[in-house]
Amino acid sequence: MLTEYIRAAMRRATYEVLPDGTFYAEIPGLQGVYAHSEQLEACREQLQEVLEGWIVLGLRLRHDLPVVEGMSLAVAPEAA
């Protein structure tokens, strides 16, 4: 499920060539998930690393992560 969530989120990524010839990428709807690099492939790889860290932190802090292509990474509440 996690791998599919990451793949789905990466499909939503947008890329832009900046005036200096470098690349900028972000995933709309996932606040703070962006990357910047001199090469497109490096930018994509960096974006995925940022996404993975964002997911881990979000789960650890028990944040409500967005549903992506119908997939949810919601954490079940702890039993009292």
pLDDT at position 13, please? 98
The pLDDT of 39-61, averaged and rounded, is 97
pLDDT at position 80, please? 53
**What is the token pair recorded at 54?**
């964002």
The pLDDT of 36-44, averaged and rounded, is 98
Q: Where are the domains of the chain?
A: 2-60
How far, in Å, CA of 23 to CA of 59, rounded? 29
pLDDT at position 74, please? 81
Residue 48: CB atoms within 10 Å: 19
The answer to whether 55 touches 73, Cβ cutoff 8 Å, is yes
pLDDT at 79 over 60: no
Geometric angle at alpha carbon 57, from 71 and 59, rounded to 5°: 45
CATH, domain 2-60, list 3.90.700.10, 3.30.1360.10, 3.30.160.250, 2.30.30.20: 3.30.160.250
**What is the token pair recorded at 78?**
């702890």
